[in-house]
Amino acid sequence: MSEEIRNWEKLNQSIVNLAKEKKKSEFRIKILENWREFAVSGVLQFDKECGEQVLKPFTDLDGRVALGLLEKAGFDVSNLTYVKPGEYLKGAVNLDTGDQFGVVYEEPTYTLYFDHHKPGTKKVTSTTEIVYKAMVGLRLLEKSEDIDRLVDFVTKIDNRQYPPEEFMRSARTILGLQRDLDFNKLLAYFKEHQSPTEELTPEELTKYGLKEANKQQQKIIDEAMETLGKMKKEGKIVNTEYGEVVVNIDNELKVGASAAYVKYDGIINFTPDKSFAVTFKEKDIDERRLKQRLGDKFQGKIIRGKIWIYNEKEPLQLKLEEIVEAIGGKFIKSELFSEQVNRPDGSILAEHLRDKGSHYLSTSEITFKDKNGKEIKFSDLLPPGWTFISYDEESKSKLYTSKESKFSSCAKTKTITYGDLNKDGALFALLHEIGHSWLETKKEGHNSFSEIMESYTANYDNRDLTEEDIRNREENLDDYVRINVYDAYGKGTGGIDNDEPWFSMLVPKKIIQKYGKAWAANERRAWAYALKQIRRFRKEGLNIEPNLEKLDELQSEIYNCLASYEETFSKEYKDATLYFTKGKKFKKKDIDEYFNQK
């Protein structure tokens, strides 16, 4: 072991001594015995339903290849924990996380780090490169040209050193298709190719199993460019001291910097009250100026002079306009307001809103008052701790400006997001989401049924299952369906930087059937709650949906929604079973059969 590596690691003295004495076999056994627990930086993804960044149990390209190198060196990395970027697991070998630089060993806690994210460090490297050099220095790996090329590829991807224009070709190069290849397939590619910018032929796409990934990546490129055009029209590109910067609120531009850098100089990824990341294509971040402008308000850390990021446990205090102004831009603040709409039947619908510095407005109350003064306070219907959030596309009340309603609920944040409440059926839809909130509180909601699919698709052994594996098991291929999986279920998108990975995999039909039944039951129960509340209000003389007077009209609203879920399910999971509609409209008996709450 070289002096550089030995000092760098500060390994347990017994291991160092064995290496110094060149007792290779004893050294190998000793180090493999000691490094048994591993942690790697997971991926934070924006969850549309929750409206926040959540940790997902997979890692990016750098973490993935670093793990592959350790396995190639002989380590068993199956005892693996995913941690939030920057955090670490005490007593474990931490990869690509911990805010360290190089290989750092903390002897009191027996914690080891392979990382390159220490604040203030500008050296261009990657965790993959650090692991590779360490393994070669420890004589656990042989240096080779194909691994050299793979490591260089990962380092350049991780530091965004490929020209931004490569994103436009990424459906035909390994730059955009790498997320569909595991470590061994990536290494096989670099045994046969000199550069990741070489365009793959149709035959090579077939050889590497990338034909479907090629189509998906081209779709990603097209949608990203369309979204950028829309964002420009909506004023979401701001001029700053660092150039033109994309303001990406709640992951509207799903591939982030990969697409933004094609046309612009930087991007702000912003999740209100939770996190942000500011990156620039060329210019380094002036940390001194940022702190000078923000003073005590400054939050986050600067990584390699290129990334200003905040993703801590404590709530984000900075507003979007403050971040924009700190980099020399101008931000038009939204108003604070309460609004009401006088409806044709003499009733009054009112929202009381608080600005959250984004397209979401925190709602303190939604009230409905009929012409006789009888009032409903919708917050009284919520489970303890739950609140409303208004989705506001135009930075004004959705009571006036809605183009489409957006209704969802999130158990993690205990929030219900809603759209235009002045449209027919909107208050009925709001009651439906309140029904979901009660199901979540009773542990019968989305988190429960989504685990059926996520627990299967999150397993890496299941992801790698092939048709040949199924035949070798003497199982019937007809009992499996190949689906596209994103965020453990559903559609997916991704950029060159692997922030939003997607993949296709084989899933047993019985899992899909179980998932479909559970999802459908969840939706029907929530609608049953909404029907129950409508009936109760009408008995009390309060008609919140005057244009849906008859039960058949309410049933039709439900049926249309269930049918749309069914169409989505059938398309994504290739299962045409009528789990949601059951071939009929939502019947009156379902009200008490599916839900008995309030």
Cα(466)–Cα(543) distance, rounded to whole angstroms? 56
Query: Does residue 500 form part of some domain?
Result: yes
Residue 25 and residue 154 share a domain: yes
Q: Could you say which of 326, 345, 375 is where a domain stops?
A: 326
Query: Does residue 32 form part of some domain?
Result: yes
What pLDDT score does 16 carry? 45
What pLDDT score does 391 carry? 65
Residue 113 and residue 243 share a domain: no
Residues constituting the chain: 598
Q: Residue 19: what residue type?
A: A
Residue 241 and residue 153 share a domain: no
Q: Could you say which of 293, 326, 359 is where a domain stops?
A: 326
The pair of three-digit structure tokens given for residue 494, joined into one six-digit string: 């991704």
Query: Does residue 253 form part of some domain?
Result: yes
Residue 146 and residue 18 share a domain: yes
What pLDDT score does 266 carry? 95
Residue 245 and residue 109 share a domain: no
Query: Does residue 99 form part of some domain?
Result: yes
Beta strands in 275-321 (DSSP E): 275-280, 301-303, 307-310
Query: Minimal CA–CA distance to 13: which of 24, 27, 29?
Result: 27
What pLDDT score does 488 carry? 38
Residue 149 and residue 35 share a domain: yes
The pair of three-digit structure tokens given for residue 361, joined into one six-digit string: 């407005």
What pLDDT score does 359 carry? 44
What pLDDT score does 52 carry? 66
- For residue range 369-386, what is the model confidence (pLDDT) as tens digits? 988 889 999 989 999 888
Beta strands in 299-347 (DSSP E): 301-303, 307-310, 338-342
* CA–centroid distance for 185 within its chain: 25
**Residue found by looking up tokens 């097209």 in the block:** 222
What range does the domain containing 21 cover?
A: 3-159
What pLDDT score does 27 carry? 61
Residue 246 and residue 130 share a domain: no
Cα(503)–Cα(488) distance, rounded to whole angstroms? 9
Query: Does residue 580 form part of some domain?
Result: no
Residue 15 and residue 153 share a domain: yes
3-state SS class at 178: helix
CB 181 within 8 Å of CB 150: no
Residue 106 and residue 11 share a domain: yes
Residue 264 and residue 146 share a domain: no
- For residue range 195-242, what is the model confidence (pLDDT) as tens digits? 999 999 999 999 989 999 999 999 999 999 999 988 887 778 889 999
Q: Could you say which of 127, 159, 191 is where a domain stops?
A: 159
Please count the CA atoms within 13 angstroms of the CA of 94 that sit on its side-chain side.
30
What pLDDT score does 499 carry? 44
Residue 155 and residue 24 share a domain: yes
Cα(598)–Cα(581) distance, rounded to whole angstroms? 25
- Residue stretches of the chain with pLDDT short of 70: 1-29, 46-52, 331-339, 353-364, 391-405, 444-449, 460, 486-502, 583-598
Q: Residue 206: what residue type?
A: T
Query: Does residue 398 form part of some domain?
Result: no
Query: Does residue 312 form part of some domain?
Result: yes
Please enumerate in sequence order all residues whose Cβ is within 8 A of that of 382, keeping only pairs 6 or more positions apart, or say none: 388, 416, 434, 437
Residue 148 and residue 10 share a domain: yes
The CB density around residue 419, as the number of other CB atoms within 10 Å, is 21
Which residues, listed in sequence order, are joined to residue 247 by a DSSP beta bridge?
268
Query: Does residue 520 form part of some domain?
Result: no
**Total domains, the chain:** 3
Cα(70)–Cα(491) distance, rounded to whole angstroms? 31
What's the DSSP call for residue 335? P
Q: Which helix (H) or strand (E) holds 370?
A: none
CB 585 within 8 Å of CB 560: no
